[in-house]
Amino acid sequence: MHLQISLRQPGSRGVSETFDAVLIGAGHNALAAALHLSAKGWKVGVFERNPVAGGAVKTGEYTLPGFRHDWAAMNLSLFAGSAFHKAYAAELAGHGCAFVPAARPFASSFPDGSWVGVSTVGTETADAIARLSAADSETWARLMAGFGAEAPHLFGLLGSPMKIRAITSFMFKTWRAKGLAGSGDLGKFLLSSPREWLDGTFEHPHVRAMLGAWGMHLDFAPDVAGGALFPYLEGMAGQAFGMALGKGGADTIITALVAAIRARGGVVETGAPVARVIHSGGKATGIELADGRVVTARRAVIAGVAPGALPRLTGGTTPAFDGAMARFQHAPGTMMIHLAVDRLPDWKAGEALKQFAYVHIAPSLDQMARTYAQAKAGLLPDEPILVVGQPTVVDPSRAPEGHHVLWVQVRMAPGVIAGDAAGRIGATDWATAARPFADRALAILEAHAPGIGERILGQQVVTPEALEADNPNLVGGDQICGSHHLAQNFLYRPARGHADGTTPIAGLFLTGAGVWPGAGTGAGPGYLLARKLAGD
């Protein structure tokens, strides 16, 4: 069952069709940009094709009444800790935005019946790692002790505009703080693959796998250069800060953003697909909606779309820019399995796993590399990685009393199926392959949590194809709107010279996860762009 609450403002079709800024799409980045511009005195209009705002950040009763599932994004830690939220926390809270802390953010379950996890509680993390390796527990303690000194450099880089001046400033500050040798070590780390860093840091394969699983969230398989940063940050930040979930669902940030924009006089209209961007003489002047209405923008048109969609909206800009947008590379897709269950899984590895917000089932770096390679080749992986979200552990309001929801993300899955790595699924269309591939994933879950199949009260399988149909920005089911590999990150996201969201058309800007600083719920692309436009 789908419960969809329209966010159309009553009488919105009768409001003025002229704004300072017109935004295409109501994902969290576009909404963050709209709120900041509204706060700076701009009149904003946001137009969203779907009946609800939020893009990949939405919540609904997708299985049974009373069971609230996060459609795609569940972890709101990046949003809760973002510069944008820091600036607007009080305002958003006044419109109902609320978070639930998870003191035990993530763990990994292994086929041998062991587990290891990261916790903010006492010495739990060190103790869990020590059960596997005393040396790794000591290494973890050393890394945590140094995290406070490293974090400003890393978060400073990830939060900076991608301009040569900003990069030069970052390098100079790093050199002054760390010296030449330390700066060189940081540079090597930023270029390293997850496996290079993990193999050189930890001795036990389970500890490496626990952290390596986080690289897969951002399209960094174990051997992809530039991916070491993300397992490190997730591990250290997980123990330092835990995880933040949205109270009642991830859509708490969306409903609050929409309410805040409207309270400041802005318009958020849903069920309003945009047909094209209007521009002439090299300048954007507005948009035309699918119903024929023309909406004028005095100062900016902001497109919250995947890079490849922009040339279709503009009708073409320059060959170089349009070619770069067309060549923008997307990560393999994901499948979502939403489960309503009568109780939490009985994890074979132990009762302790019932306390974690995420449980990864990703046994080894080799298995992750194989799964990634299979999906990139268009094959249904023989052993997909599972991210099992247990949000009702910390937020029981998402399910009827005594019941739970499970959020199962199946990584990786090809957007277009060329075959099956296991040779058992003959279908090459998602309509037919969805059920047997979901059964494969659920069989993996059953092996780690015996009896879970008998506890399922309702389920919905969402294929990569369905994810893209719901939100065209998730091309092929790519939930991060584009690979973060080095050739498409930092100054090159989405293309050299356009990491600040500018396009060859004056007054037309791109935002969303396809623009620096990329994917996640931190609203960085939208906030950085809005600050730039507002002259902050």
pLDDT of residue 171 exceeding 80: no
pTM: 0.94
Do 276 and 310 sit in the same domain of this protein? yes
The model's pLDDT over 495-504, given as tens digits with 9 standing for 90+, comes to 999 999 999 9
Predicted confidence (pLDDT) at residue 476 exceeds the cutoff of 50: yes
**Both tokens of residue 57?**
């950040």
Average pLDDT over residues 527-531: 98
Does 1 reside within a domain? Answer: no
One domain for residues 370 and 346: yes
CA–CA distance from 170 to each of 192, 308, 487, 522 (Å)?
A: 19, 31, 20, 20
Last residue of a domain, one of 217, 241, 265: 241
Burial class (CB in 10 A: 0-12, 13-18, 19+), 48: buried
User: Please, is 329 exposed, middle or buried when counting C-beta atoms within 10 Å of its C-beta (0-12, 13-18, 19+)?
Assistant: middle
* Inter-axis angle of helices 205-217 and 194-201, nearest 10: 160
Mean pLDDT of 6-25: 65
Q: 459 with 496, same domain?
A: no
Is 6 contained in some domain?
no
- 338 and 416, same structural domain? yes
CA distance 407 to 512: 24
* Strand order from edge to edge, sheet including 358-361: 115-118, 106-109, 358-361, 385-389, 404-413, 333-341, 456-462
CATH number of 24's domain: 3.50.50.60
Return the half-sphere exposure (C-beta side, CA atoms, 13 A cut-off) of residue 81.
Answer: 17
CA distance 196 to 369: 13
Do 209 and 363 meet the contact criterion of CB atoms below 8 Å apart? Answer: yes
Of 211, 240, 245, whose CA–CA distance to 227 is shortest? 211
* pLDDT surpasses 60 at 467: yes
Same-domain status, 375 and 446: yes
Domain assignment present for residue 5? The answer is no
Q: Which are the contacts of 74, defined by CB distance < 8 A and separation ≥ 6?
A: 245, 250, 389, 391, 407
pLDDT of residue 5: 30
Please indicate, yes or no, whether residues 181 and 225 belong to a single structural domain of this protein: yes
Question: Percentage of the chain with pLDDT > 90?
Answer: 89
Q: What is the 3-state secondary structure (H, E, C) of 407-445?
A: EEEEEEECCCCCEECCCCCCCCCHHHHHHHHHHHHHHHH
Q: Are 533 and 299 in contact (CB under 8 A)?
A: yes
- Is 266:254 a contact under the CB 8 Å cutoff? no
Residue-wise pLDDT for 251-285, tens only, equals 999 999 999 999 999 999 999 999 999 999 999 99
Whether 131 and 174 map to the same domain: the answer is yes
Q: Quote the number of domains for the chain.
A: 3
Cα 343 to chain centroid, rounded: 27
Candidates 17, 27, 95, 19; CA nearest to 56 is 27
Cα distance between residue 278 and residue 525, in whole Å: 23
Q: Which of 470, 490, 520 is the last residue of a domain?
A: 470
The whole domain housing 449 covers 332-470
Task: Give residue-wise pLDDT tens across range 229-244.
Answer: 999 999 999 999 999 9
Residue 131 domain flag: yes
